Amino acid sequence: MQNSLEHEPKTDKWQFDEEVTDVFDDMLERSIPDYYNMRELVHKLTKKYARPNTVILDLGCSTGGSFKKAISELPDNFFVGIEISEPMRRKAKENFKKFNNVEIINHDLREGLPSYDKNISVILSVLTIQFTPIEYRLNIIKNIYQSLSKGGVFIFVEKVLGETAEIDNTLVKLYYDLKGENGYTQEKIQKKRKSLEGVLVPVTSSWNIELLKKAGFEDIDCFWRYLNFAGYIAVK
């Protein structure tokens, strides 16, 4: 795993390019608070709701970290990773080239979800929808709801805003302190923050829950929360 502390963006706006792909796993570990516990909870929920001989769909799979552990433990399932970044997609394909139950595809979530002959029992979105324009998010989540089989689950992790400006400022400060403790300089923290403006657009946790309800989900809860990051489970 390459070290992300030396990564310097090539452009003012954040891109999931070759250089980011090379350091991505290390970047997540240093940048997402309580990262390993979040990943383990996503894995356990995936195993809980996956039905044999069904599809597990990961939206914005990057290098495949969200279902990496599940692939070997759920051999009767078919895993599909959707990723629009070509370097990320290439890395994911390399990671799973030995598995015949994994497909990594290029697809724009704004155009709906791909359909399959098999039912879809689990859909994952781990730090993905936050990168889509807000005006598309409700339709994307509606498509997720419609694509899931009855009893299927949507596992949804996002960076979020605090419910008030005061709380948000406090959470962001603590988050930046954590990134500093993990090796990032204040200069790098602020440079990345600026590059993500207008690219990663978080909303409040209550807004995300409302989107899930408007899409049709009724059985909804927050399964993980750490500072300005939250994970939701929504069962159809």
pLDDT surpasses 60 at 43: yes
Q: Could you give the angle at which helices 134-147 and 205-215 cross, rounded to 10 degrees?
A: 50
pLDDT, tens digit, for every residue of 189-222?
888 888 888 889 999 999 999 999 999 999 999 9
Q: In Å, how far from its chain's centre is CA 200? A: 12
Q: Are 91 and 19 in contact (CB under 8 A)?
A: no
pLDDT computed for residue 25 by the predictor: 79
Higher pLDDT among residues 146 and 8, named by residue: 146
pLDDT interval class at 24 (50, 70, 90):
confident
CATH superfamily of 18-235: Vaccinia Virus protein VP39 (3.40.50.150)
Compute the average pLDDT of residues 129-156. 97
Can you tell me the mean pLDDT for 33-62?
96
As a whole number, mean pLDDT of residues 76-97 equals 94
pLDDT value for 191: 83
Answer whether residue 226 shows pLDDT above 80: yes
Which range (51-55, 98-102, 186-190, 212-216) has the least confidence? 186-190
**pLDDT at residue 153 in the model:** 98
Q: What is the predicted pLDDT for the residue at 3?
A: 56
Mean pLDDT of 52-59: 96
**What integer best gives the mean pLDDT of the chain?**
91
One-letter amino acid at 70 equals A
Asked if residue 6 has pLDDT above 70, the reply is: no
Q: Report pLDDT for 233.
A: 98
pLDDT value at residue 185: 85
7 vs 186, more confident: 186
Report field, pTM of the whole predicted structure over 0.85: yes
Higher pLDDT, 136 or 16: 136
